[in-house]
């Protein structure tokens, strides 16, 4: 019998979904992320993962965006061996084991208290890994994290669950606390109501689990928008997942559809990585 998920709210449950996406990807002979640890973590949890009905496109996209964020963290810590990494809405993701930063790097994982309680039971311990059981909509999450070192912050699968005002406050807290660094996250561009309603109607439980938690904020098309919210943020990268070389590892039908979407800017924006310096 595995570890139970008592106390995890539907919002926290979204972390089980992305964990299982990485686990399924790791079982593929054409794995994108190769996160065998995710499969081991999932195996230790008493939860009906199969009942989520994860579809191949979501598995591939979740693995790819995680790989792309990992690569950006790798580049940052290679240039700043004294860096601090902060994973905002870390869920059950053990990015530290994949990235293998220099031994001098500290890694902080912030998430809701119940998710962090589960995380601390299932994710392998590391002397330089630290858990922060705080809501990112509150004022205190940065308090335990050093402010003066170069800081790489990532948010993988988080922002869809926050309102526009909560995202603005979060970014203000980032540049208010940390002296310098980068903020990178995945983004879906501006999502129309038709796409949102279609997701709610899809039969798989995974779509209901996620769409039921969306904040309702439709997002933004122009990647410069966060600069208007917060003048300390400077956009340095906007990359579509559709243009990533790893799309070659997708199953043929998905590869063709993804490459096609990459030729149409409005579709390419639907899955992108944005990165800002401050
Ligand atoms: C889709 S999951 C992604 C988890 C992880 N980043 C991953 O890739 O597996 C979204 C995560 O955001 C967390 N989250 C949502 N709202 C939050 C908030 N206000 N404060 C802290 N974490 C939050 C959820 O608990 C969940 O772990």
- Decide if pLDDT at 215 tops 90: no
Dihedral Cα 169, 271, 72, 8, nearest 10 deg? 60
Global pTM value: 0.96
Report how far apart, in Å, the C-alpha atoms of 75 and of each of 40, 252, 276 are.
27, 30, 14
Residues in contact with ligand 1 by the CB-under-6-Å rule are 11-12, 14-15, 18-19, 89-91, 93, 111-112, 115, 135-137, 156-158, 161
Q: Give the residue among 66, 158, 154 at the shortest CA–CA distance from 112.
A: 158
Q: Give residue 197's pLDDT band: very low, low, confident or very high (50, 70, 90).
A: confident
pLDDT tens by residue, 14-41:
999 999 999 999 999 999 999 999 999 9
Contact 62, 21 (CB under 8 A): yes
pLDDT tens by residue, 89-104:
999 999 999 999 999 9
Q: Is residue 244 in some structural domain?
A: yes
Q: Is residue 3 in some structural domain?
A: no
Q: Looking up tokens 């926290």, which residue turns up?
A: 12
Q: Is residue 79 in some structural domain?
A: yes
Q: Is residue 14 in some structural domain?
A: yes
CATH of the domain at 113: 3.40.50.150
Contact 122, 92 (CB under 8 A): yes
Expressed as residue numbers, the domain containing 254 is 10-277
Domain count, the chain: 1
pLDDT tens by residue, 231-240:
999 999 999 9
Q: Is residue 5 in some structural domain?
A: no
**Atom number in ligand 1 closest to CA 162:** 16
Q: Cα–Cα distance between 71 and 68 in angstroms, integer?
A: 5
Q: How far is the CA of 15 from the centre of ligand 1 (A)?
A: 6
- Which residue's alpha carbon is nearest to atom 13 within ligand 1? 89
Contact 63, 19 (CB under 8 A): no
Give the distance between the most distant pair of CA atoms in the chain.
51
Which two three-digit tokens encode residue 210? 């996620």
Q: Give residue 142's pLDDT band: very low, low, confident or very high (50, 70, 90).
A: very high
Q: How far is the CA of 263 from the centre of ligand 1 (A)?
A: 31
Q: How far is the CA of 89 from the centre of ligand 1 (A)?
A: 4
Q: Is residue 1 in some structural domain?
A: no
Contact 157, 92 (CB under 8 A): no
pLDDT tens by residue, 235-260:
999 999 999 999 999 999 999 999 99
31 burial level (CB within 10 Å; 0-12, 13-18, 19+): middle
Of 70, 91, 214, the one to substitute when testing ligand 1's pocket (max ligand atoms within 8 A of C-beta) is 91
């Amino acid at each position: 019998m595995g570890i139970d998920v008592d106390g995890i709210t539907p919002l926290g449950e979204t972390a089980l979904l992305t964990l299982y996406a990485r686990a399924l990807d790791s079982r593929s002979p054409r794995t994108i992320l190769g996160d065998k640890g995710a499969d081991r973590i999932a195996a230790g949890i008493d939860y009906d993962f199969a009942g989520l009905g994860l579809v191949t496109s979501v598995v591939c996209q979740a693995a790819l965006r995680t790989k792309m964020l990992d690569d950006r963290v790798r580049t940052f810590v290679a240039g700043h061996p004294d860096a601090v990494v902060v994973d905002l809405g870390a869920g059950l993701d053990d990015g530290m084991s994949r990235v293998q930063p220099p031994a001098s790097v500290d890694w902080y994982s912030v998430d809701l208290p119940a998710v962090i309680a589960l995380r601390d039971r299932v994710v392998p311990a590391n002397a330089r890994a630290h858990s922060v059981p705080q809501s990112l909509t509150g004022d205190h999450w940065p308090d335990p994290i050093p402010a003066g070192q170069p800081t790489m912050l990532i948010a993988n699968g988080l922002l869809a669950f926050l309102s526009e005002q909560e995202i603005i406050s979060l970014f203000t807290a980032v540049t208010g606390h940390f002296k310098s660094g980068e903020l990178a996250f995945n983004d879906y561009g501006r999502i129309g109501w038709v796409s949102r309603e279609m997701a709610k109607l899809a039969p798989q439980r995974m779509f209901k689990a996620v769409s039921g938690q969306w904040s309702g904020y439709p997002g933004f098309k122009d990647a410069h928008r966060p600069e208007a919210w917060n003048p300390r943020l400077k956009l340095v990268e906007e990359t579509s997942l559709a243009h990533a070389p790893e799309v070659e590892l997708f199953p043929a039908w998905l590869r063709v559809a993804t490459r096609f979407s990459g030729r149409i800017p409005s579709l390419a924006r639907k899955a992108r990585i944005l990165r800002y310096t401050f």
